[in-house]
Amino acid sequence: MNRLVLLLLFATTAVWTAAGSAAERPNILWITSEDHGPEMGCYGDEFATTPNVDALAKKGMRYKLAWSTAPVCAPARTTLITGLYPPSCGGQHMRSMAQLPESIPLYPALLSEAGYYCTNNSKQDYNVRPTGSLGWADSSRKAHYKNRDPEQPFFAIFNETCSHESKIRTRPHKQIHDPVKVRVPAYHPDNEDTRRDWAQYYDVVTQADATAGKLLRELDKKGLTDSTIVFYYGDHGSGMARGKRWTYNSGLSVPLVVYFPEKWRHLAPKEYQAGGVSDRLVGFVDLAPTLLSLAGVQPPEWMQGQAIAGKYETEAPKYMYGFRDRMDERYDFIRTVTDGRYQYIRNFNPHFIYGQFVSYNFQTPSTAAWKRAFDAGLCNADQSHFWNLKPAEELYDLQADPDEVNNLADSPDHQQKLGELRDALYQWCHDIRDVGFLPEGEIHSRSEGSTPYEMARDETKYPFEKIFAAADIATHRNPENLDQLKSLLTDSDSAVRYWGAVGILNRGGDAVNASKQALLAALGDDSPYVRVAAGYALGKFGDKELQRQGIECLIDVAPSKPGTNVFAAIAALNAIDKLDEKVAFAKAEIDKMPVGEIASPDKRYGGYPQRLLTKIQDDFKANASSR
């Protein structure tokens, strides 16, 4: 073989070697468990029994404060799968099924393009529809990284459901943790039901920890521990009431433990050390760009999170954000921000109580027992807050008040922090073009022929600043803005008119009676959402004749005829339910509502009107039997 051939062979081999080295990617394993917060030994909870995740934290690193961004499963998973805040793309409401633009693929598709074998075992439950493929090589109960080509890097999710909210209430149950030794949070009444459900919650977290241990041992048995980056996290706070579904730290805070083997230590977060704790704020919106960064893929500009590790790791953010919108059949609208020490909560539906009746949540014994205790006058102020109207603003010191029962929003010593976090939250809403300031149905109607994400960035379809300003005024209770609210009812934009009606409703009886002509005119508005807000205001606070007119408007908007829009029906039935015995005169008409004929764009949330109607009818029966 001559010298030239040898040189060519050497050069070719060098190129192949370099290419192979450059193409090498870490394996990535996500172990997730449902409905549990950082109630684990590695987070200092001595009552918890979680040896496997504790051991992972000892050789890896845990994050001191990680948020799921949304305090319930579908919006939280939507955040994960997109790398977007769901309020920026219409995916914030439970089972909203918003369409994504073609330009926004889901992260598994991007990882697949980078050569990864991507599996999901097995829950999806996203609130968005992609235009293209989801990107999973397999998404099922049989999905596993072992089915890949051995030379192919993998990204695998294993999602444990044994800790789900429904498991807290499963009976019979063999107790592991003693209910007597449970620490009852200050916001819960200390009774038998509360202690039993909390103890059972700790039991199912122990089961989830056992599953994590099994998966880690399997990884080790296959000889993959030294080549695999591992993330362990819960998908939001506990399934106990005021945990899951609520934007307190108890609903948003999750355990997040990461492990980087020596081979991939150069991809670890800058602050990574074995047994260490990171102060970096990290939310679910950060995990999609982090995955891409670990795979050597630059996260696309449209992703709204920050990579916490890998080639494209960013500097730590100053703030972290969260949200709550419609939870199953109940509307709500909350935005929140934290700097790690203080949490600011902005309630844009302060005319609704926190503890609205969500039928699924009320199946948990401690939830129903808490409401009974409140109705019986057995709850103190901290325990009663959940069942009362919300303030517009809340501020809590997570260090001094981890249960978040001492609202500092009116504290003279905390006005600077209140203003700082309020400004940060408002800027975030502006930056992401938060579509939550539209009634849910308008998110979809204004997006016709496009997508909510694209609509939100079209000023002609969504004049954000104008609508946001109306919402901001509406959801405080200062009476001096009443004339301005009345003027909002004549605006050309239906969302502005909606907030005008909500603002009058939010200010109570005096404001409603001083605005009755404007509200009566709003009963004939082109927008069903304006009519619902006006009808609810008159039905709740008007005199007998005004009440009747308001309620008749609500019944007309609700599913009183085939073809009713599902979003308008849910809004109207929510209002009817909250008016209690005031709607008794219309019982016969309500009972025959054809809820099965409502036009619903997706069957996943078409059943919510029936839940509301059933609640209204059950209340009719309960009121009749109590007479």
Structural domains present in the chain = 27-315 (3.40.720.10), 463-626 (1.25.10.10)
> Which two tokens mark 317?
């953010």
**β-strand 117-121 against 334-338: which pairing, if any?**
unpaired
Of 73, 89, 118, 429, the active-site residue reads 73
Distance CA(245)–CA(566), nearest Å, equals 22
Q: Which residues pair with 278 in a beta bridge?
A: 63
Alpha-helical (H) ranges within 185-240 are: 192-221
Confidence band for 360, pLDDT divided at 50, 70 and 90? very high
pLDDT of 8 over the 80 cut: no
Task: Give the residue among 532, 11, 77 at the shortest CA–CA distance from 287.
Answer: 77
pLDDT of 6 over the 60 cut: no
Asked if residue 331 lies in contact with residue 349, where contact means CB atoms within 8 angstroms, the answer is yes
Residues 170/175/177/178 CA torsion (nearest 10 deg): 110
Q: Catalytic: 73?
A: yes
In angstroms, the Cα distances linking 116 to 103, 119, 153, 200, 252 are: 21, 9, 5, 39, 30
pLDDT in tens, 591-618: 999 887 787 788 888 889 999 999 999 9
Q: For residues 352-380, give the mean pLDDT.
A: 97
Give the Cα-Cα-Cα angle 433, 339, 413 (nearest 5 degrees).
110
What's residue 565's pLDDT?
87
Q: For residues 44-57, give the mean pLDDT.
A: 98
> Which two tokens mark 541?
């606070």
- CB atoms under 10 Å from CB of 564, counted, come to 23
Distance CA(307)–CA(298), nearest Å, equals 10
H or E segment and range at residue 484: helix 482-488
Q: For residues 288-293, give the mean pLDDT.
A: 98
User: How distant is the alpha carbon of residue 290 from its chain centre?
Assistant: 20
**β-strand 256-259 against 98-99: which pairing, if any?**
unpaired
What's residue 288's pLDDT?
98
What's residue 16's pLDDT?
28
Asked if residue 453 lies in contact with residue 104, where contact means CB atoms within 8 angstroms, the answer is yes
Q: What percentage of the chain has pLDDT greater than the value 90? A: 91
Q: What percentage of the chain has pLDDT greater than the value 70? A: 96
The structure tokens 């684990």 sit at 40
pLDDT of 84 over the 90 cut: yes
Confidence band for 13, pLDDT divided at 50, 70 and 90? very low
Q: Give every strand in the sheet of 334-338, ordered side by side.
A: 320-324, 334-338, 342-347, 393-397
What's residue 595's pLDDT?
80
Distance CA(618)–CA(310), nearest Å, equals 55
- The 3-state DSSP class for residue 228 equals strand
Computed over every residue of the chain, the mean pLDDT equals: 94
Task: Give the residue among 279, 385, 394 at the shortest CA–CA distance from 335.
Answer: 394
What's residue 600's pLDDT?
79
Asked if residue 519 lies in contact with residue 488, where contact means CB atoms within 8 angstroms, the answer is no
Q: For residues 302-313, give the mean pLDDT.
A: 98
Distance CA(359)–CA(603), nearest Å, equals 18
- Rounded to the nearest 5°, which phi and psi values hold at 68? -80, -5
pLDDT in tens, 230-283: 999 999 999 999 999 999 999 999 999 999 999 999 999 999 999 999 999 999
What's residue 620's pLDDT?
94
pLDDT of 295 over the 80 cut: yes
Distance CA(488)–CA(491), nearest Å, equals 5
What's residue 561's pLDDT?
66
pLDDT of 22 over the 60 cut: no
What's residue 626's pLDDT?
77
Confidence band for 481, pLDDT divided at 50, 70 and 90? very high
Confidence band for 102, pLDDT divided at 50, 70 and 90? very high
> Which two tokens mark 310?
């890998």
Asked if residue 38 lies in contact with residue 255, where contact means CB atoms within 8 angstroms, the answer is yes
The structure tokens 């619902």 sit at 532
Distance CA(77)–CA(535), nearest Å, equals 35
Distance CA(378)–CA(189), nearest Å, equals 8
Distance CA(475)–CA(498), nearest Å, equals 12
Q: For residues 161-188, give the mean pLDDT.
A: 97
Distance CA(255)–CA(239), nearest Å, equals 15
Q: Which residues are CB-neighbours of 170 under 8 A, at least 6 positions away? A: 200
> Which two tokens mark 35?
């409905």
Asked if residue 522 lies in contact with residue 497, where contact means CB atoms within 8 angstroms, the answer is yes
- CB atoms under 10 Å from CB of 227, counted, come to 15
H or E segment and range at residue 506: helix 494-506
Give the residue, 100 or 15, on which the prediction is more confident. Answer: 100
Q: Give the E-state strand segments of 113-153 in sequence order.
A: 117-121, 128-129, 138-139
What's residue 605's pLDDT?
83
pLDDT of 583 over the 50 cut: yes
Asked if residue 299 lies in contact with residue 288, where contact means CB atoms within 8 angstroms, the answer is yes
pLDDT in tens, 540-570: 999 999 999 999 999 999 976 666 789 999 9
Give the residue, 600 or 215, on which the prediction is more confident. Answer: 215
Distance CA(14)–CA(7), nearest Å, equals 11
pLDDT in tens, 331-352: 999 999 999 999 999 999 999 9
Instruction: Indicate the DSSP class of residue 134.
Output: -
